[in-house]
Structure 1
């Protein structure tokens, strides 16, 4: 009886057939397959499909057209397209007119980007200092300009500068001669390259700066207010506060906005086409207008237009790659 009690009082034997203490019993049978292995790929599949259809396929077609001689017959499938290799690119790069158009594109895009970024930043800083209701009212009104279609904005600015009835010529003609001169009522703002691009820059900046302002405002909301309070205590002015606090904190925002502005302003087409009156004024061409004119001219040269458009695409990729490299070096992108 005592032996029975002793056995019953002993701790269970864990050195036998059972698993050792602290270890789990091994699972029997094959290991289950990893769950969710294809889940992320299935989630991004629709987006990849849309990108392939709307972006990758047109770019592939553009690349193919750039190396072929394609006219109206070839575009309709009546005749096969002739492979001409690099002939289209040699024609484009060897044309002095291409380099004049490139200068128009670079200078106008640079003016648009600089003015848009400066004006948008100033408006964003202003919105940040306004009250909540007033900031909402002003930003909503500014976004109406950003949401305006390009053709609508071009129509408005065409009317503003139309000779003999536009608002701007009327205002300038109403000013004293010693202040603004005379003859503005009949002045053709769209008759020369300089004045055409002047109106174009105003139109594009008017449409673009609200997006920059709202983006800067959103970035300013993430800057700790303690930094500005410390700057005020140290006696820093508005200019020094901006360069010492605001700009370093919003550097990623400014870089992204600059890249987007360069891409958008390099390929402006709708506003320029309407303001310059189509393809008649070749002096006012930019690369987008040049590519369109070469493609739709008679006889049509879709391959040549594709080569010009591909050159524009490469230029934009170079700018984008440069700024992405700067962002990576600064540690803003991992």
Structure 2
């Protein structure tokens, strides 16, 4: 009888020495690669932070420029009520609701070499949807019939409401005078008679005042926009705000003596990053108009942005 010989191939395992050698090589490789990965990640986060800082700064500057550019719209450089007196509004966002007189559409507040500047501006705004006259109104009348009742709902874009609200004044397209309201229903009553006749379909606009300022808060600066009704925080990390004024004669000044001569406003912002960079040290001095900021000697990155907003309506 023939026998068939069968050979089984054995499976060879990994020896302990080979396993330890592999682990040592993997560990050395990790030790070499990990710092590179961490550095790459850190550089990526730092670059994202720098991009975010520049985006925030440009966005804030663009917002202020577009808003200030509309100063004096439909009310001129010296807003006047129909009785000939300067515009007077209730400053509803301040304690005690003080009455504030606004003789100029642009009211600079120069902080000098130690404080931030501030700026108060007045302009007329359109409503959405537009608010127009439904019936014609004769000169010397105190009654306007509107296309709809003004919105007065709380926590919304309220349009017109009598004092002690700050939104108590209106003007009309092609008019330059401001009219305080006594009632603000669809049939609206004015405190003073109309200075000129108003045709059907004339747009009704609201008179608004805005104040830009930086408020120090916990070692940082908050950029605020005060609309006399509430104070909105535009950004929590603004370390500097300065204004300069381009006059009709071409001069650029920090503290104009005649507001009606202002033709442009140069806005300068010093914006701070939201997070510190461990490898960055800010020991620079930043010159904004007539004030120098810094050195801060901290780990926050900062950027200085500046732009001139032309205020054409202030020269009309």
Scaled by the length of structure 2, the TM-score of the pair is 0.24
Larger strand percent: 2
Q: With CA pairs under 8 Å and 6+ residues apart, which has the higher RCO, 1 or 2?
A: 1
Q: Which has a greater percent of helix?
A: 1
TM-score, normalising length: structure 1: 0.23
